Amino acid sequence: MGLWVSDAKEVGDISRWSDDSNVPDKWKQAKYIRFLTEAEYLAAIEMGMGKTPEQELHLRVFAWWAANDPLRQAQPDKAAPKSPFLPGSKARKNLEQLVKLLSATDPNKRLMKAEALRQLGRFEELQAPFPKAFTKVADWMRRLVTERDALVRELFSLNKTR
């Protein structure tokens, strides 16, 4: 199973919507690149496909995001799905490992770590201040922590009420 696009040998480039009259038939049969499912990302991690710490970090972040997809795609008129990060779940184990990998010194990774901790319900670990550039996001996150809200939320709905 190939995983990293950067490791693939490029033999050509076509768009899904381009005129394919001059494209070799073999290319027309090729599968399009797609994001994996949560289970596929977790399987890739188990198979050791994250050969570097950065690759493992990417796999774990994408697995986290994929675990949140059902919540993001929930219809407002239907019952909201429960958190995928319940104790003992594969999603939770992945997120716990991701928290360990995220640096506390890089402000962007600190913010990602804070969001992961919030979704794990580890609210008491989220009190560290953030740089001024992150004030709006940090304030928004503090509000969710105060409410003990561990579900995925639209991060940039800062001008809206939930």
Q: Is residue 89 part of a domain?
A: yes
State which residues form the domain around 125: 32-146
The answer, yes or no, to whether residue 159 has pLDDT greater than 60, is: no
pLDDT band for 14, please (50, 70, 90 cuts): confident
Q: Is the pLDDT of residue 1 over 70?
A: no
Reported as a single tens digit per residue, the pLDDT across 38-74 is 999 999 999 999 999 999 999 999 999 999 988 887 7
Residue 17 three-state SS: coil
pLDDT tens, 74-103?
766 677 668 889 899 999 999 999 999 998
Residue-level length of the chain: 162
Whether 162 is covered by a domain: the verdict is no
Query: Residue 77 carries which DSSP code?
Result: T
Q: Is 160 a domain residue?
A: no
Question: What percent of the chain has pLDDT above 70?
Answer: 87
Count of structural domains within the chain = 1
Look at residue 14 and tell me if it is in a domain: no
Asked whether residue 12 is assigned to any structural domain, the reply reads no
Within a domain: 64: yes
